[in-house]
Amino acid sequence: MALPVSSSGEPLAFINALFTATSAICVTGLSVIDIGQRLSLFGQVVLLGLIQLGGLGIMTFATMLMISMGTKLTLNERLSLSQTMESSIKVRPLHMIMAIFTTTIIVEGVGAVLLFWQFQDKMGPDQAIFTAIFHAISAFCNAGFSTFSDSLESFSTDYPMIFIFSFLIIAGGLGFVVVRELIAAAYSRKFKISMHTKLCLWVTLILLVGGTIVYSLAEADNIFPRMGIAGGVANCFFQTVTSRTAGFNTISQGSFSDMSLLITMILMFIGACPGSCGGGIKTTTFAVVILVIVNRFRGRSRASAFRRAFTRETVGGAFTIFHLSIIIILIMLSVFLFMESLPASHVATKGWFLEHAFEIISAFGTVGLSMGITPDLENTGKIVIMIMMFIGRVGLLTLAYALAKPPQKGEIVYAEEPIMVG
């Protein structure tokens, strides 16, 4: 990205090139430069390759290469692949990877064709083809990068465009395991959909419907008078879709009310489904935490869904991710606020804090939405955001397993004693 051939003018500074590459490989979409203006065609192709690499996962590419070379996977490598895909469903690695590549090519191909028909009237054929392919891959990988300076704001009244992007984002955010099971269920009525898939689908549906309703209520006196009911609902729906790790925007984030910004940060924190291109704590983690709390109030010792109880490992992992995510966000936000000096002409207000909190959560959720402060970040602030994007893409549980010490033999187990909590 720092090579002169990658830029349309002056070469990018190393820190900006590193930030852009990190954002692409982490499929985040935060950018300190105008992609369409600052990068040449070569630079945009390189960026697109990094987005696709990050979306499918480096582990998937590495495993595919090993299998194609005839290398037999070890037990640890199989476990690592399973952890990367965040799936407990037993699938042969080769079948899983072939399904991932096939699904990706088909969905991105369909999306590119649909987008081409929308772009062909607005630009030349060659540019329309590349623009369609770029945005189809960026949307499916939930990256949020756009060659348009204003993202998708110029298409805020183009409802077919909003629908196409929503389809690609949702498909990329469901997770490959979920898509695979849906395809299998469509071909065979005897195929039983797992609790994982059911939970992903229900939580996604609830978040999409609930988010659209809440955004519509919050923006009834803000967006609706300008865009009408149909335009307001369509853009509120897209805001709900894109807030869960996509990063495209049809309306500037600074135009939303404080209530809408709060909802956006909550959706960015929750994120997409496990094993998908998205980040966040994941929909299933959020569902498990909520269901455990609800069952506690109902006097039940075990949480369940669809007549199946969650394992203790699932509950423990969900609460570990949930609490660790909050702790890391608070720590990194504190560091971020300390590193980012307040401009002399800027008065310290709640807006300044909100902008930076929004940026940190967006980086953690690998979303890419911003209130406009990304290009003005100092080098230290860019480093903090890059770290957050990396943490959000790798996943806290995967990162914890990688850093944690292996269980020790002969570990001393002490007697239990209750304490008062709350």
Taking the chain (422 residues) in runs of 10, the rounded mean pLDDT of each run is 85 92 91 91 93 78 57 59 53 69 89 93 89 94 91 91 94 84 82 87 95 93 86 93 91 90 95 86 92 88 85 87 92 90 54 88 92 89 93 73 61 76 68
Q: What residues contact 82, with CB distance under 8 A and at least 6 apart?
A: 88
Give the pLDDT of residue 83: 55
The tokens for 209 are 């419907």
Read off the tokens for 135. Answer: 């945005």
What's the confidence (pLDDT) of residue 68? 59
Q: How far is CA 49 from CA 21, 70, 110, 205, in A?
A: 10, 25, 19, 31
The pair of three-digit structure tokens given for residue 370, joined into one six-digit string: 């911003």
DSSP state of 309: E
- Paired with 308 in beta bridges are 305
Contacts of 230 (CB under 8 A, 6+ apart): 159
- Output the pLDDT for position 194: 84
Q: Are 143 and 247 in contact (CB under 8 A)?
A: yes
User: In 87-223, where do the E strands start and end?
Assistant: none
Beta-bridge partner residues of 305: 308
Residue 164: left (phi > 0), alpha (psi -120 to 50), or beta?
A: alpha
Tokens describing residue 15: 């820190």
> How far is it, in rounded angstroms, from Cα 22 to Cα 390?
8
Residue 242 has a pLDDT of 94
pTM: 0.87
By CB neighbour count within 10 A (0-12 exposed, 13-18 middle, 19+ buried), where does 411 fall?
exposed
- Residue 97: strand, helix, or coil: helix
The pLDDT, as a whole number, for residue 75 is 59
CB distance 138 to 118 below 8 Å:
no
The answer to whether the CB of 48 falls within 8 A of the CB of 137 is yes
* Number of neighbours of residue 363 by Cβ within 10 angstroms: 33
